[in-house]
Amino acid sequence: MRVVVDFDLCESNAVCMGIAPEVFEVRDDDFLYVLQEEPGEALRPQVVEAAARCPKQAITIEG
């Protein structure tokens, strides 16, 4: 699985970070960082939920 973020859509509201902090992080500069572009399958449920709950639908999952 590969996490892809459309940073043109992303508002860095940290909803994804609240769901999957191992994968997403909004830092003090108010930008979203993807900590693991290819997280393990154990994190799939959280990543799928983060993508589904993203207010701007900026997160997609490949694979």
Structural domains in the chain plus CATH codes? 2-62 (3.30.70.20)
Q: Residue 18 has what pLDDT? A: 98
11: CB partners within 8 A, 6+ apart: 55, 56, 58
Distance (Å, whole) CA 4 – CA 54: 13
The pTM is what? 0.94
How many Å is the maximal CA-CA distance in the chain? 31
Predicted pLDDT at 2: 98
**Average pLDDT rounded to a whole number, residues 28-39:** 97
Residue range 47-61, pLDDT digits in tens: 999 999 999 999 999
Work out the percent of the chain whose per-residue pLDDT is above 90: 100
Summarize pLDDT for 16-25 with one digit per residue, the tens.
999 999 999 9
